[in-house]
Amino acid sequence: MAQEDGKVSSYREYAEHILPRVKKAGYNVIQLMAIQEHAYYGSFGYHVTGFFGISSRSGTPDDFKFLVDKAHGMGIKIVIDLVHSHASNNVFDGINRFDGTDHSFSHGGARGYHSGWDSMLFDYSKYEVKRFLLSNLAWYLDEYHVDGFRFDAVTSILYNHHGIGFSFSGNYNEYFGMQTDLDGITYLMLANTLVKKLRPGAITIAEDVSGHPTLCRSIRDGGIGFDFRLGMFLPDMWVKLLKETPDENWNMGALVHAMTNRRWLEKVVAYAESHDQAIVGDKTQSMYLFDAEIYHGMDRRSQPSLTVSRGMALHKMIRLLTQSLGGEAYLNFMGNEFGHPEWIDFPREGNNNSYHYCRRQWSLLDN
């Protein structure tokens, strides 16, 4: 969904048309989502069916290697989304019930099922599960020369409750107790150790909503070994402000506190907007800021209105604050450095399988 045309674009098209834009904009790392094979496009790639397979809807393994090689030639690293927190519940082309039982890769019964995601949960205590997942990491490093991984849904791996119906207040009892999945933590430590051994300098990023202490401290220091955690509170905070609070009432002290409130010596990837906010059902920040004028009155030949001028100033301020105070790295999302105008949506039954929102409107930047 990175091209102007409404379609599933290919790895080669991305390499030819989008990589030069990323390079020109000054970025040095790209995080690619939905690379592992998955049956349902609308799942954002999170319901993986083929852990060692490259998503065939965008091309062949050689096509993906072409993309990685071209990025490396530009001095850009490629980090891929890695889903080791759960697997597709699909028994026909996934690993669920691989041997006919409900506990081949997962726990048996209800413990092996994530009710919120309708997916299979791994049993990290099993030797073969660890072999399977660790070899999966090695495969992408050795075969495709990726430069690291963004581990999806680490919260689900860390706790027996998987974060379902549980809100974290920051009390240490929430992190270290019977609800902690020690097997899951052991797996993550092994994973980080292996990645760094096979590819010194590789990047590992944890998507964790709980704020687990020591997640991004070295294993030698008693940590779990990730390089960065995602600052997941920040985009939620921005969209809540845009929805509920007039900007003249934004509390600068509270904003600065939110940006700087992070674990000591643990690095954070800050970001202002992501697919969690920009998917249909919500709005992009641009749609909140410019309202109906997003569709007219914003080209350079028009006299800008107060709404557009104010919206542009706020959009820049949101990114400036997030980039400067929010962490040790900054993540943009799908071209929103120029404020991608509309929400994002995959072709699905609910929109008559339309590709209209499955695209990025680069022409707005160009013209």
Catalytic residues: 152, 207
Total residues belonging to the chain: 367
Using alpha carbons, select from 222, 220, 215, 227 the residue that is nearest to residue 263: 215
Q: Cite the beta strand spans of the chain per DSSP E.
A: 29-32, 36-38, 48-54, 77-82, 87-88, 113-114, 119-120, 148-151, 203-206, 228-230, 267-271, 329-331
Using alpha carbons, select from 139, 159, 269, 143 the residue that is nearest to residue 204: 269
Q: What phi, psi does 140 have (nearest 5°)?
A: -70, -30
Using CA atoms, how far residue 258 sits from 232, 233, 236, 237, 249, in Å, is 11, 8, 11, 9, 16
Using CA atoms, how far residue 243 sits from 155, 291, 340, in Å, is 27, 12, 18
8 A C-beta contact, residue 120 and residue 88? yes
Look up residue 255 and give its two tokens. 């904003």
**CA–CA dist 232, 182 (Å, integer):** 24
**Residue 256 contacts by C-beta under 8 Å, 6 or more apart in sequence?**
325
**CA–CA dist 27, 46 (Å, integer):** 25
12-48 burial code (b ≥16 CB/10 A, e <16): bbbbeebbebbeeeebebbbbbbbbbbeebbbbbbbb
**CA–CA dist 113, 119 (Å, integer):** 6
The number of beta carbons lying within 10 Å of the beta carbon of residue 334 is 16
**Residue 129 contacts by C-beta under 8 Å, 6 or more apart in sequence?**
105, 122, 123
